[in-house]
Amino acid sequence: MESTLLIDGTEEGDLSNLNSQSSEYTYTELRELGLRIYKEVWKQFYEWEPRECRQIIHALAGRRDPGEREKYNKTIDQLLDSGTLQDSEMRNDSENPNQPLLVVTQFDAEGRGISYPLEIEEISVDPAFEAHPSYESCPPINQSIQNLRVHNAAAFIPYGDEEKFPVMEHLDNFESFAWEEDFDPDSEMIQIETVRRLHNTSNISITNIDRMRIFPKPLRESYKDGLLWQRFQRDFLRWPGGTEDDMEGACSEPAPDNLRERLSSVLATFCPNLNCLRTLCTTHKHPQFGPFGGGRPKVSNQSMRLSEGEPCGEECFRLTDESYMDKVYWENESDLETLRTILSISPDLFPCQLADLCFKPCREVFVQRSHIFPDHMLYDDDPAGDMGSHTKNNKTKKKGRKPRLIFEEDSDHAEFVPLEPCKHKGPCEKERCECYRQKRHCQLACRCGVNCNRQYRGCECKRCFSNCPCVKNARECLPGICNKCDARGASDDPCVNTRLQRNDTKAVEIRRAKYGLGAFATEDMKPGDYIGDYVGGILTSDHVEILHHVTEYSGRNYFFEFSNANGDEMLDAAPVGNATRFLNHAPAETDLPKSDGTPRSDAELANCMAQVLLVNGEHHIGFYTTKAVARGSELLLCYGSQYWLKTGKGDNLEPSID
Ligand SMILES: C[S@@+](CC[C@H](N)C(=O)[O-])C[C@H]1O[C@@H](n2cnc3c(N)ncnc32)[C@H](O)[C@@H]1O
């Protein structure tokens, strides 16, 4: 009997969730239709793709005239035959007999040669020069990478050609290989084309296509995720079976003249946090950063006119009286359209700025803005007061709602426990907000939003020393909110508590040390100097177990535990990292006893320490010197007793070099 379950999971009879066409189908019929079209596109794609690849390879091979190959081979033979080495040879310059010359002859396709001399630079190589012993390198990164190793998929086969490494035992820890699960551009093209056909030809909505569950990934997971979103992050492959038709705007790029939509789609790609330069950032996902615009103005025309400021020129709106209001007329509708679009994105831009964007006189723009946003359409409950910050007439200022710190009694937290940012939408209350419960401020990366009363609003210090609330709470000062200390780094003397963000490191060099490679100071360092940010792949602690064959075999591990709320986050700088991965554990070179003869502890011998810091909503591990370090000395950390318990110090830790 035919299934009566519909595609959205409702029972037969309730078709309201399906669009008009697809409501004629049952769930089974729709799924079958989806699968049939999916197979059809799959078949077409793979009929086309190998043919196309063959053609490209053929075209790359270039054309040769008959007989040309033989002629060319003859020339090569002549070159290789020492008896005929007349054209390409070493000679001495008769004017300067000590300067050897190399005569090079280039042959064209016809076998004709042109000879010319090349001067040779002599390089003398020290015969005692010793090649560097083998070491493992890794790709450099400047920030940690999330999900570098997918839990049950092996990223690669380590030491695959070394007999002693237990490859099979190691691979038993994984269910698959990462390359079997990774993104496949071909299948993405096929899925996108299937969606297009189902949507445009069979008139099935994107939501209902998702409900068919025929693709591994949802089409629209959020405004920043899903197959359709990802498709816009890549160049689109053009193939005869695929068309880039509009899918009711669901999969299409906005039209070139639709400024607002274009900005919205670009915004989805970039991080909304102005202090973060990362594309596709996943840390600062504020829910309120949806599409641009739609905002209503908060500043009245009247208050703009009364605001303080210099006129931007002779035609500035500030120099214009009321009588000018009826005298402006723009003939070209597209000029008005541009102004409307800009105002829809940023309704409170000042006329002087609008004038620059619209290429129009400032006072004309002001008049047009007054028509588009007459003062009576302003919010009655404007939270900032309609004068914004531009007013000089305090009498007319509304009683604005000042941002309140309602948790003032516990705002100065002595203890700081680095935590994940909270993930719920505001407001932050005891029952559901981890920040509230832990007696700490919400961070920029908290999902509760920038208007949350609990949001940290930056320090007020001019110089950030140990009593600065940011320093005290192991957080770097934030450009934009810590305004007095030059956290932005605009001056020659920027805030010292932003060194990690500014990558203001001391210089180190990596060279041979007692245990493998080590990091050495290339300049004298003072206590408290910043060395770098320990970066790597972000893993959970169970990866330590999964990768134990590799760390035991190499005798090296680059794990660094993170003190997050769950305590199970790790950084692994073995596959990717920067210079900080080479800091060895003290004692490494020397372990001289103290003057009274008592041995020094590891921590005393170390000259660097690691500190977990909250930087721009993310936890980082910064390395700092703890004492003066002379140029040329090795930088040493104390790894802590746990490190050696886990790895077994001395068991397998033969010095890898020396
Ligand atoms: C983070 S790496 C340090 C860089 C490493 N030396 C290299 O060549 O890449 C940590 C590894 O270095 C070695 N190591 C560092 N300090 C050591 C010490 N004091 N004694 C023995 N081995 C040490 C161990 O193999 C350890 O697992």
Residues 505 and 387 in one domain: no
Check whether residue 589 and residue 640 sit in a common domain. Answer: yes
The residue whose C-alpha atom lies closest to atom 6 belonging to ligand 1 is 516
- Render 489-530 in DSSP notation, one character per residue: --SSS--GGGHHHHT-PPPEEEEE-SSSEEEEESS-B-TT-E
- Output the furthest CA–CA distance in the chain (Å, rounded): 102
Tell me whether strands 584-585 and 636-637 are parallel, antiparallel or unpaired. Answer: parallel
Where a domain ends, among 393, 423, 450? Answer: 393
Residues 323-344 have a mean pLDDT of: 86
Q: For residues 176 and 74, state if they share a domain.
A: no
317 within domain boundaries: yes
Nearest Cα neighbor of 230 from 241, 219, 239 is 219
Q: Please state, in angstroms and rounded to a whole number, the distance separating the CA atoms of residues 557 and 577.
A: 13
pLDDT score, position 346:
82
* DSSP structure class, residue 13: T
Strand partners for 100: 92
Share of the chain above pLDDT 90, in %: 24
Q: How far is the CA of 515 from the centre of ligand 1 (A)?
A: 5
**Per-residue pLDDT band at 211 (split at 50, 70, 90):** confident
Assigned token pair, 105: 């002859």
Lowest pLDDT segment from 13-22, 339-348, 418-427: 13-22
Q: In CATH, what number is assigned to the domain containing residue 551? A: 2.170.270.10
φ and ψ at 259, to 5 degrees? -60, -40
Choose between 352 and 87: higher pLDDT: 352
Kindly state whether residues 643 and 549 are assigned to the same domain. Answer: yes
Which stretches does DSSP call E strand in 97-254? 100-107, 113-119, 145-146, 153-154, 176-177
Query: Is 624 found in the same domain as 521?
Result: yes
Q: How far is CA 526 from the centre of its chain?
A: 33
Q: How far separated are the first and last CA of the chain, in Å rounded? A: 77
Q: Which residue intervals of 197-310 are DSSP H helices?
A: 206-212, 227-231, 259-267, 301-306
Look at 355-364, 433-442, 455-464 and tell me which has the smallest mean pLDDT: 433-442
**What digits encode the pLDDT tens for the residues 374-423?**
887 764 443 333 323 333 333 333 333 222 222 333 334 334 455 566 66
Look at residue 231 in the predicted model and tell me its pLDDT.
73
Average the pLDDT over each of 68-77, 135-144, 146-155 and give the range with the smallest value. Answer: 68-77
Cα 28 to ligand 1 centre (Å): 60
Residue with tokens 């691979």: 171
Residue 19 makes CB contacts below 8 A (sequence gap 6+) with 203, 204, 205, 208
User: Is the model's pLDDT at 657 over the cut of 50?
Assistant: no
What is the pLDDT at residue 628? 96
User: Identity (one letter) of the amino acid at 180?
Assistant: E
**Residue 292, pLDDT above cutoff 80:** no
Confidence check: pLDDT of 523 > 60 = yes
- 68-95 mean pLDDT: 56
Q: What is the pLDDT of residue 254?
A: 64
Mapped onto helix, strand or coil, the DSSP state of residue 444 is coil
pLDDT bracket for residue 177 (50, 70, 90):
confident
Tell which of 374, 393, 412 closes a domain: 393
Instruction: Report pLDDT digits (tens) over 64-77.
Output: 566 666 665 555 56
Residue 581 Cβ contacting ligand 1 at under 6 Å: yes
Within a domain: 315: yes
* pLDDT average, residue stretch 566-573: 78
Distance, in Å, from the CA atom of 157 to the CA atom of 178, rounded to the nearest integer, reads 10
Please give the share of the chain, as a percent, with pLDDT higher than 70: 67
Q: How far apart are CA 474 and CA 470, in angstroms?
A: 6
CA distances from 166 to 170, 176, 547 (A): 6, 17, 12
Give me the mean pLDDT over the 371-375 stretch. 87
Residues 580/623, Cβ–Cβ less than 8 Å: yes
If asked whether residues 507 and 626 sit together in one domain, one would say yes
Provide mean pLDDT across the span 172-198: 84
Q: Are residues 613 and 568 in the same domain?
A: yes
Which tokens is 380 given?
């009655």
Q: Is 517 in the same domain as 633?
A: yes
Model pLDDT, residue 400: 31
In contact, 646 and 639? CB cutoff 8 Å: no
Residue 20 has pLDDT above 50, yes or no: no
Nearest to 589 by CA among 505, 511, 509: 511
612-647 residue pLDDT tens: 888 887 888 999 999 999 999 999 999 887 777 655
Q: Is 557 in the pocket of ligand 1 (CB under 6 A)?
A: yes
pLDDT digits (tens, 9 = 90+) for 114-132: 777 777 777 887 778 778 8
Reduce the DSSP state of residue 75 to 3 states and report it. helix
Looking at 6-10, 250-254, 301-305, 632-636, which range is the least confident one? 6-10
584 CB within 6 A, ligand 1: yes
Residue 399 pLDDT: 33
**Which is more confident, 112 or 545?**
545
Tokens describing residue 205 = 């909505």
pLDDT, position 337: 87
Selected residue with higher pLDDT from 10 and 285: 285
504 half-sphere exposure, CB direction, 13 A CA radius: 15
Take residue 173 and report the two structure tokens written for it: 């820890």
**What CA–CA distance (Å, rounded) separates 404 from 162?**
64
Rounded CA separation 518/531 (Å): 13
Q: Which of 535, 571, 585 to mutate to test the pocket of ligand 1 (most atoms within 8 A of CB)?
A: 585
The per-residue pLDDT for 1 is 37
635 lines ligand 1 (CB under 6 A): no
Single out the residue of 222, 227, 206 nearest to residue 285, CA to CA. 222
SS3 content of the chain, % helix, strand, coil (to 5): 30, 15, 55
Asked if residue 479 has pLDDT above 60, the reply is yes
Q: Does residue 279 sit within a domain?
A: no
Closest ligand 1 atom, CA of 656? 8
159-173, 210-224, 397-411, 642-656: the lowest-pLDDT one: 397-411
Neighbours of 68 (CB within 10 A): 13
Mean pLDDT of the chain: 75
What letter does residue 323 receive in the DSSP assignment? G
Res. 193: pLDDT tops 60? yes
Q: Is the ipTM of this complex over 0.90?
A: yes
- 412 belongs to a structural domain: no
Are residues 83 and 161 part of one domain?
no
Q: Which of 95, 216, 133, 84 is nearest to 511 (CA)?
A: 133
Q: How big is the chain, counted in residues?
A: 658
**492, 574, 589: which is closest to 537 by C-alpha?**
574
Quick one: which atom of ligand 1 is closest to the CA of 639? 16
Instruction: Provide the pLDDT for residue 617.
Output: 75
For residue 243, tell me if it sits in a domain: no
Confidence of residue 204 (pLDDT cuts 50, 70, 90): confident
Regarding beta strands 145-146 and 537-540, do their DSSP bridges make them parallel or antiparallel, or are they unpaired?
Answer: parallel
| Number of domains making up the chain | 4
The reply to whether 164 and 91 lie within a common domain is: no
Lowest-confidence region among 78-87, 493-502, 541-550: 78-87
Residue 402 resides in a domain: no
Residue 176 sits in which domain range? 146-181
C-beta of 556 in contact with ligand 1 (< 6 A): yes
| Other CB atoms within 10 A of residue 241 CB | 17
Among 557, 584, 634, name the best residue to mutate to test ligand 1's pocket (greatest count of ligand atoms within 8 A of Cβ): 584
- Is position 459 within any domain? no
Residue 521 has pLDDT above 90, yes or no: yes
The two tokens of residue 581 are: 């991965």
Residue 362 is given by DSSP the state H
Q: For residue 88, give both structure tokens.
A: 């390409």
The residue among 393, 425, 453 that closes a domain is 393
Across 366-374, average pLDDT: 90
Domain identity same for 377 and 512: no
Query: How far apart are the C-alpha atoms of 158 and 556, rounded to whole Å?
Result: 14
Most confident of 29-43, 447-461, 591-605: 29-43
636 and 515 in one domain? yes
Q: Among 515, 551, 576, 641, which is best to mutate for testing ligand 1, by the most ligand atoms less than 8 A from CB?
A: 515
Q: What is the pTM of this model?
A: 0.61
Q: How confident is the model at residue 462 (pLDDT cuts 50, 70, 90)?
A: very high
